[in-house]
Structure 1
Amino acid sequence: MRVGHVAAVLAVVLVAAYSGRVAARAARQPEVVGEILAGILVVPAVLAVGGTPTLAAVLPTDVVGPLKVIGQIGLVLFLVGVAHELRHGGSGLGARAVGWVTAGSFVPALLTGLVMAAWVVWLADPDLRGDAPVPALVLMIAVALSVTAVPVLARVLEDRGMVDSPAGKLAMAAAVVTDSAAWVLLVVAVGISGGLVVSLVLVALGVAVTVVGRVLLRSRVPVSAAGRFPRATGAGIAGVALLVAFQFEHWGLTAVFGSFVVGLAIPGGVWAGAVRAVTSTGRLLVPVFFVVAGMGVANAPRGSVPWTAIAVAIALAVVGKVGGGYLGGRLAGQDRRTAMTVGVLVNTRGLTEIVVLQAGYSAGLLSVQLFLALVVMALATTGMTGPLLSIIERTRAPKPVPVPELPGSRS
């Protein structure tokens, strides 16, 4: 392994990610959209400029291997914070309202995912369908269309001052529940292709580790240490998360599951600062993960961009999330404008969707073409969130214009 070469590529990736964030802010988009695009487009850009020989020189095998490991480390550390937020986030709203919005943002999206899966299995080109078992493929596509990115949604709400709005609270509460369910379904989908019984045993083991971990970390000594030594605590959390994540991957599940086990096991309170440090480190390295994903996209055969699949995925994704979120908001008793805002917000996919798709692609559930179509869908639906919210804001009911008094109308 050439350490200097790896360090140079890593520096270029981080600079590209920073540039992507700057460009996204200038375009009034969530920063993660620019970050994902920058990471994914690094490899195609090298190919376009210098062709395959240049790509082989810039990213030889002994450099790609360490990059994959670094990307995985970043992803695991970042998802520890995501899981922790899923566990401890709250909406402060009534259970009935949250229940309707959650059902509306999840069930119709799952159904549209099943529609797309049926199209892929029975009508689409065999190259798009791939070789995955039908049940695993169907569940994978359904999960892909039902995800809402909690981290990206939180950033959108913060940037637009909507954190405490009814629509923002409802959307975030629904996203927390739907993403939790989506991760479970993802594990099942991967398990179907690799041995469902073994996967269910591992899931049960993960649940047990989570429960035991929460009990142990709530005791006096760990809580005191976390409060006094937050940096050392963060380093310990990172080490345990990597150990657990890669062990579960070695056993046949995705490393994502292991990171969620650790994130869900960590209590709130004094532990939050240490978790934030772990998440920040992971976020810094996640662009490397996108570069690795971009290599898979770049390896797609030339002339095989699945335009029809992209159009179908975007259309069904918008119908399932925006339409379903709107329906859930109306059933929850919200006015039309608030319900539509909820629908637009839960249509934000971003980083979470890319992680789900990469897990499905690595497990052999998604072909390169289908992976590419769903990645474009994730970016498109996330990118349309800001413009659609701006349109909704401009459609507010105008303030009543005072009627001028006629001369002599006063008594």
Structure 2
Amino acid sequence: MSTEALGSLALALLLLLAGANLLGQVAVRLRQPRVVGEILAGVLLGPSLLGLLAPGAAAAIFGSGGEDASTVVLGFLYQLGLLLLMFVSGAGVRNVLTRENRKPTAWMLGLGTALPFLVALGVAPLLPLHRFMGEAGNRPAVVLVFAIAAAVTSIPVITKIFHDLGILHTRFAGLMLGVAVLEDIVLWGFLAVATALASATGGAPGAGLAGRVALHVGTNVLYVALAMTVLPLLLRRLSRARWNVLASGSPIAWLMVVFLGYVCVAAVLDVTLAFAAFLAGFGLVGGVSNSEEPRFRAAFDALSRVSSAVFIPVYFALVGYRLDFTRGFSVVMLVAFLVGSTAVVLVSVGLAAHVSGFRGLDIVNLALTHNARGGPGIVLASVALDAGIISPPFFTTLVLTAVLTSQACGAWLDFVLRRGWPLLASEGPVQRSGQAASGVAAAQVERR
């Protein structure tokens, strides 16, 4: 890489990193999810604005596509940010399925998730799916992605919202995270099926194609099963082995070695890499017992802070960069999918919450939070676009739906807490923890 090319790449990273973090902080100050500002930074630097006003400068900074050095490196950082996002999310999966939440979790998973998924599967044949279809040209894969997008819930975004509002310690947060954890595991399995169908499209027809799909899906299922059961136990033994100098002397390096190992094995087996990264986090930190967690918690927190400040914001900025509102964007598609999927989710989760014994405001809080698509919605769109399953207009629709539903969730929960209303009637008024509570008290004094 020449000095000029390296300078252009450094400038691109500077703009993406600074823009994502600055606008992310602005979004937080406006009581919006940070991801909204990070994506907006990419939109401003992408073809929707900078590329439209100064296409030559945009190409010189961010690359012109193909084998251009900046394009290749930014593509790698995009994938790395995605994998680290899923890795961090997987590590957050722990101790959420308490006894009091098991019944409502089962109902919300069985109705609140399954019903939107099944409704989307039933409605899909009535839609002009050719407008949603990507280069792979596989209709069943598009239908699966459409159904997943209608049902998915965001673990990273609702966790961040709960943290910012100081309510992670509540039963409400534990219930929602428990549902999201189980739901995302199931839905990522369906995404593995969709990518298998897309990747097998070019194969031999008939039984040959069916065999390739069956092999791919079987490999994914086996990988997931081992990663959820056997590998966490194996990693626990390896991390405590005396000869393992990485785990004892450089735990951050050990975390990265395991993370990259999961991804490498998944690549060889043609397993969805994003889900492999999620399972790596689960196996290392998320799935361990309480006695094991402190061993790697400090190292993981350090890695998480760097990822959350650098690589993940750059990923979301590049997601925004890929949104092109000047070509192929359909307002009708966005409004129809956003309104239709939201209505089905709210009704389904409301029904599940009612059957579980919740009433009134409890149902509203649970339904609006469950509808936040956030990170997984964006990851789903990214993986499906890269696999050639969906078209760029549908990619834009899925990303904007994820952003708008997350905004609605954060704004509503903040409103409820400021009014002094309970998130769940059984908990009573919420006592916010940490800086969130201090910030609310300061704001109340200022208003007085």
TM tier, shorter chain?
0.7 to 0.9
Q: 1:221 to 1:241 in 2, by over 3 A?
A: closer
Which residue is 1:334 aligned to? Answer: 358
Q: 1:388 to 1:317 in 2, by over 3 A?
A: farther
Q: 1:309 aligns with which of 333, 336, 341?
A: 333
**2:203 corresponds to 1:200:** no
Q: 1:14 to 1:296 in 2, by over 3 A?
A: closer
Q: 1:152 aligns with which of 151, 157, 164?
A: 157
Q: 1:98 aligns with which of 101, 105, 108?
A: 105
Asked if 1 retains the 8 angstrom alpha-carbon contact of 2:381 and 2:395, the reply is yes
Asked if 2 retains the 8 angstrom alpha-carbon contact of 1:116 and 1:312, the reply is no
Q: Aligned to 1:16, what secondary structure does the other structure show?
A: helix
Q: 1:115 to 1:391 in 2, by over 3 A?
A: farther
Q: 1:48 aligns with which of 48, 52, 59?
A: 52
User: Residues 166-192 of structure 1: CA distance to partner in whole angstroms, max 9, x if unpaired?
Assistant: 433322221111111111111111112
Asked if 2 retains the 8 angstrom alpha-carbon contact of 1:210 and 1:261, the reply is yes
Tell me how far 1:145 sits from its aligned partner.
Answer: 1.6
Which residue is 1:189 aligned to? Answer: 194
Give the whole-Å Cα distance in 2 for the aligned partners of 1:136 and 1:228.
41
Asked if 2 retains the 8 angstrom alpha-carbon contact of 1:77 and 1:242, the reply is no
Give the whole-Å Cα distance in 2 for the aligned partners of 1:5 and 1:231.
37
Asked if 1 retains the 8 angstrom alpha-carbon contact of 2:33 and 2:157, the reply is yes
User: Residues 368-400 of structure 1: CA distance to partner in whole angstroms, max 9, x if unpaired?
Assistant: 111111111111111111333355555959xxx
Q: 2:254 aligns with which of 216, 222, 236?
A: 236
**2:146 corresponds to 1:141:** yes
Tell me how far 1:20 sits from its aligned partner.
Answer: 1.7
**2:87 corresponds to 1:80:** yes
Q: Aligned to 2:54, what secondary structure does the other structure show?
A: helix
Which residue is 1:109 aligned to? Answer: 116
What is the TM-score with the length of structure 2 in the denominator? Answer: 0.79
Aligned-partner residue type, residue 3 of structure 1:
L
Aligned-partner residue type, residue 317 of structure 1:
S
For these two proteins, the number of residue pairs brought into alignment is 391
Q: 1:243 to 1:95 in 2, by over 3 A?
A: closer
Q: 1:49 to 1:220 in 2, by over 3 A?
A: closer
Alignment of 1:379-390 (within 5 A): 379-390=403-414
User: Residues 101-144 of structure 1: CA distance to partner in whole angstroms, max 9, x if unpaired?
Assistant: 22233123213433553343xx36x4444453221111111111
Asked if 2 retains the 8 angstrom alpha-carbon contact of 1:110 and 1:146, the reply is yes
Give the whole-Å Cα distance in 1 for the aligned partners of 2:134 and 2:238.
52
**2:9 corresponds to 1:6:** yes
Q: 2:179 aligns with which of 174, 181, 192?
A: 174
Give the whole-Å Cα distance in 2 for the aligned partners of 1:231 and 1:285.
25
Which residue is 1:275 aligned to? Answer: 300
Asked if 1 retains the 8 angstrom alpha-carbon contact of 2:372 and 2:406, the reply is yes
Which residue is 2:203 aligned to? Answer: none
**2:382 corresponds to 1:358:** yes
Asked if 2 retains the 8 angstrom alpha-carbon contact of 1:111 and 1:320, the reply is no
Give the whole-Å Cα distance in 1 for the aligned partners of 2:279 and 2:78.
19
Which ranges of structure 1 fall in alignment gaps of 5 or more residues? 398-411
Give the whole-Å Cα distance in 1 for the aligned partners of 2:392 and 2:315.
16
Q: 1:72 to 1:54 in 2, by over 3 A?
A: same
**2:315 corresponds to 1:289:** yes
Asked if 2 retains the 8 angstrom alpha-carbon contact of 1:78 and 1:281, the reply is no
Which ranges of structure 2 fall in alignment gaps of 5 or more residues? 201-212, 423-448
Give the whole-Å Cα distance in 2 for the aligned partners of 1:164 and 1:240.
30
Which residue is 2:446 aligned to? Answer: none
Which residue is 1:404 aligned to? Answer: none
Give the whole-Å Cα distance in 2 for the aligned partners of 1:215 and 1:241.
16
Which residue is 2:277 aligned to? Answer: 259
